């Protein structure tokens, strides 16, 4: 079985986010980058499936040279090789086209990725890749098992879970609790240094969307203490200031 896991290179969730150039560019100064948390779940499950079924596990990232430490971490976790598409991930359809091109060339049986990235939270790439490749795509998948060529999945839906069966090949956008995150051990870290990391050029530079500016959320206001017996004042503030009523 050939498995492809698509990972994102995103700021750590504890990072302080700032913008430069009149709020048109993300300021990466001093920011630590990680594998997207949802992608980490996909990678962890892919390692388990590769170990169970045999075959090969490849990780792919659309990004410039600074994303290579993130790919090396994925190799340390258990991927066999890595592909870096040498371009900035401009928008969802642009990224999807890069993934679809190299996935088609590789002839993968299973393509996993996170349900969404945690920088833009678009949640669109898996569906776009499915459309471009003519493959079924499912998300958010919280359980995935393979029996022969049949994939059994549990998907989170509003108010419950949906249980599905589909045939390989397919694409899944993953979330917890599909697997537990894997922490690289020393052996994995050492072996990752010699595993193949192939850099390929993008198939196209065309984009269909562009971010014109960014805006930070408003700063948290001061806490107002209301006497426990002053219900009318509490209702007034919730209605007129917090605007939740």
Hunting for tokens 């010699």 — which residue is that? 194
Beta pairing class for 81-86 and 56-63? parallel
What digits encode the pLDDT tens for the residues 84-114? 999 999 899 999 999 999 999 899 999 999 9
Cis? peptide before 140, omega within 30° of 0: yes
**Dihedral (CA of 50, 52, 53, 54) sign:** positive
Q: Which two tokens stand for residue 119?
A: 């920088």
pTM for the whole structure: 0.85
Which residues, at least 6 apart from 224, have a Cβ–Cβ distance to it below 8 Å? 237
What digits encode the pLDDT tens for the residues 9-25? 999 988 888 888 888 88
Residue ranges and CATH numbers for the domains of the chain are 2-218 (3.40.50.620)
Q: Where are the alpha helices (DSSP H) in the chain?
A: 37-53, 68-77, 92-106, 125-133, 186-192, 231-240
What digits encode the pLDDT tens for the residues 189-242? 999 999 999 999 999 878 888 888 888 888 877 888 888 889 998 999 889 888
Question: Considering all CA atoms of the chain, what is the largest pairwise distance in Å, rounded to the nearest integer?
Answer: 68
Q: Which two tokens stand for residue 61?
A: 């990232």
């Amino acid at each position: 079985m050939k498995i492809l896991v698509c990972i994102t290179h995103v700021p750590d969730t504890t990072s302080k986010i700032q913008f430069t150039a009149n709020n048109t560019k993300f300021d990466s100064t001093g920011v630590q980058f990680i594998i997207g948390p949802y992608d980490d779940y996909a990678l962890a499950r892919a390692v388990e499936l590769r170990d169970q079924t045999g075959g090969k596990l490849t990780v792919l990232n659309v990004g410039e040279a600074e994303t290579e430490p993130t790919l090396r971490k994925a190799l340390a976790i258990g991927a066999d090789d890595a592909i870096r598409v040498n371009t900035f991930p401009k928008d969802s359809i642009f990224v999807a086209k890069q993934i679809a091109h190299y996935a088609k060339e590789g002839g993968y049986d299973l393509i996993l990725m996170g349900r969404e990235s945690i920088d833009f939270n678009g949640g669109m790439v898996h569906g776009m890749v499915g459309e471009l490749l003519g493959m079924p795509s499912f998300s958010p998948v919280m359980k995935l098992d393979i029996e022969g060529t049949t994939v059994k999945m549990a998907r989170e839906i509003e108010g419950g879970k949906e249980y599905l069966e589909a045939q390989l090949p397919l694409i899944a956008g993953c979330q917890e609790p599909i697997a537990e995150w894997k922490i690289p051990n020393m052996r994995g870290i050492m072996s990752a240094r010699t595993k193949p990391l192939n850099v390929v050029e993008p198939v196209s530079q065309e984009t269909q969307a562009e971010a014109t500016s960014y805006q930070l959320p408003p700063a948290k206001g001061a806490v107002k203490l209301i006497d426990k017996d002053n219900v009318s004042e509490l209702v007034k503030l919730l209605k007129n200031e917090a605007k939740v009523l």
